[in-house]
Amino acid sequence: DVAPEPDSSTGLVQVSLQGTPHQVMGTVQGSTPALRQINGATFKQPAPLSGPLLIYRAKASDSSALATLTGLLSKAGVQLLSYHSSSTVAGEQWSVVGLSAPLPNLGELKPRVTEIFQLHL
Protein backbone atom coordinates (compact mmCIF):
# COMPACT_ATOMS: atom_id res chain seq x y z
CA ASP A 1 0.00 0.00 0.00
CA VAL A 2 1.34 3.44 -0.93
CA ALA A 3 0.17 6.71 0.62
CA PRO A 4 1.66 9.79 -1.10
CA GLU A 5 3.10 12.43 1.18
CA PRO A 6 2.21 16.13 0.80
CA ASP A 7 5.37 17.04 -1.15
CA SER A 8 4.48 14.26 -3.67
CA SER A 9 8.11 13.15 -4.01
CA THR A 10 7.80 10.62 -1.19
CA GLY A 11 5.60 7.65 -0.49
CA LEU A 12 4.71 5.65 2.59
CA VAL A 13 4.74 1.87 2.08
CA GLN A 14 3.91 -1.07 4.32
CA VAL A 15 6.24 -4.00 3.50
CA SER A 16 6.71 -7.40 5.07
CA LEU A 17 10.24 -8.83 5.25
CA GLN A 18 10.59 -12.40 6.49
CA GLY A 19 7.02 -12.17 7.79
CA THR A 20 7.61 -9.02 9.86
CA PRO A 21 5.69 -5.87 8.81
CA HIS A 22 7.64 -2.62 8.44
CA GLN A 23 6.48 0.87 7.57
CA VAL A 24 8.94 2.61 5.25
CA MET A 25 9.02 6.03 3.63
CA GLY A 26 11.11 6.71 0.61
CA THR A 27 11.73 8.96 -2.32
CA VAL A 28 13.40 8.77 -5.71
CA GLN A 29 16.72 10.52 -6.35
CA GLY A 30 17.22 10.70 -10.10
CA SER A 31 16.11 7.18 -11.04
CA THR A 32 17.22 5.50 -7.78
CA PRO A 33 14.77 4.81 -4.96
CA ALA A 34 16.04 5.95 -1.56
CA LEU A 35 14.95 5.07 1.97
CA ARG A 36 14.11 8.05 4.20
CA GLN A 37 12.50 6.33 7.17
CA ILE A 38 11.80 2.84 8.53
CA ASN A 39 9.45 2.22 11.46
CA GLY A 40 9.80 5.84 12.59
CA ALA A 41 13.63 5.92 12.42
CA THR A 42 14.77 8.67 10.05
CA PHE A 43 17.89 8.75 7.89
CA LYS A 44 19.56 12.21 7.75
CA GLN A 45 20.67 11.43 4.21
CA PRO A 46 18.30 9.15 2.26
CA ALA A 47 19.85 5.69 1.77
CA PRO A 48 19.99 4.69 -1.93
CA LEU A 49 18.31 1.35 -2.61
CA SER A 50 20.26 -0.26 -5.43
CA GLY A 51 22.56 -3.22 -5.87
CA PRO A 52 23.43 -5.61 -3.05
CA LEU A 53 22.22 -4.22 0.28
CA LEU A 54 22.42 -5.28 3.88
CA ILE A 55 19.78 -3.75 6.16
CA TYR A 56 19.94 -4.37 9.88
CA ARG A 57 18.65 -3.05 13.21
CA ALA A 58 20.87 -3.10 16.29
CA LYS A 59 21.25 -1.43 19.68
CA ALA A 60 22.57 2.09 19.15
CA SER A 61 24.94 1.77 22.11
CA ASP A 62 26.60 -1.41 20.78
CA SER A 63 29.20 -0.95 18.02
CA SER A 64 29.97 -4.68 17.78
CA ALA A 65 27.61 -5.18 14.80
CA LEU A 66 29.59 -2.77 12.63
CA ALA A 67 32.92 -4.21 13.79
CA THR A 68 31.70 -7.75 13.02
CA LEU A 69 30.38 -6.61 9.63
CA THR A 70 33.73 -5.11 8.61
CA GLY A 71 35.44 -8.38 9.55
CA LEU A 72 32.96 -10.36 7.44
CA LEU A 73 33.49 -8.02 4.49
CA SER A 74 37.25 -8.46 4.73
CA LYS A 75 37.00 -12.27 4.89
CA ALA A 76 34.64 -12.38 1.90
CA GLY A 77 36.56 -9.82 -0.18
CA VAL A 78 33.42 -7.65 -0.42
CA GLN A 79 33.70 -3.85 -0.51
CA LEU A 80 31.55 -1.52 1.57
CA LEU A 81 30.23 1.02 -0.95
CA SER A 82 27.93 3.06 1.30
CA TYR A 83 26.75 3.18 4.89
CA HIS A 84 23.71 5.01 6.25
CA SER A 85 22.44 4.88 9.82
CA SER A 86 19.12 6.14 11.13
CA SER A 87 18.08 8.12 14.16
CA THR A 88 17.66 6.11 17.35
CA VAL A 89 14.20 4.81 18.22
CA ALA A 90 13.67 2.79 21.42
CA GLY A 91 17.46 2.50 21.81
CA GLU A 92 18.00 0.97 18.36
CA GLN A 93 19.23 2.19 14.96
CA TRP A 94 18.74 0.90 11.44
CA SER A 95 21.73 0.65 9.11
CA VAL A 96 21.64 0.36 5.32
CA VAL A 97 24.91 -0.90 3.86
CA GLY A 98 25.65 -0.87 0.11
CA LEU A 99 27.95 -3.73 -0.86
CA SER A 100 29.94 -4.69 -3.96
CA ALA A 101 28.49 -8.24 -3.70
CA PRO A 102 26.17 -10.11 -1.33
CA LEU A 103 27.77 -11.67 1.74
CA PRO A 104 27.78 -15.47 1.56
CA ASN A 105 27.17 -15.99 5.29
CA LEU A 106 25.58 -13.73 7.92
CA GLY A 107 25.96 -16.23 10.77
CA GLU A 108 28.54 -14.21 12.74
CA LEU A 109 26.48 -11.03 12.45
CA LYS A 110 23.03 -12.39 13.40
CA PRO A 111 23.72 -12.65 17.17
CA ARG A 112 24.77 -8.97 17.25
CA VAL A 113 21.62 -7.54 15.61
CA THR A 114 17.88 -7.54 16.25
CA GLU A 115 16.90 -7.94 12.59
CA ILE A 116 18.86 -8.37 9.38
CA PHE A 117 17.96 -8.57 5.69
CA GLN A 118 20.13 -8.98 2.62
CA LEU A 119 18.59 -7.74 -0.63
CA HIS A 120 19.70 -7.19 -4.20
CA LEU A 121 17.79 -4.39 -5.94
Determine the pLDDT at residue 1. 42
Q: Is the dihedral of CA 25, 35, 27, 42 positive or negative?
A: positive
CATH 3.30.70.260 holds for 10-120: yes
Per-residue pLDDT of the chain in tens (121 residues, 90 and over written 9)? 444 444 545 555 556 666 778 788 888 888 888 899 999 999 999 999 999 999 999 999 988 999 999 999 999 999 999 999 999 999 999 999 999 999 999 999 999 999 998 989 8
Helices (H) then strands (E): counts for the chain: 1, 9
Domain boundaries, the chain: 10-120
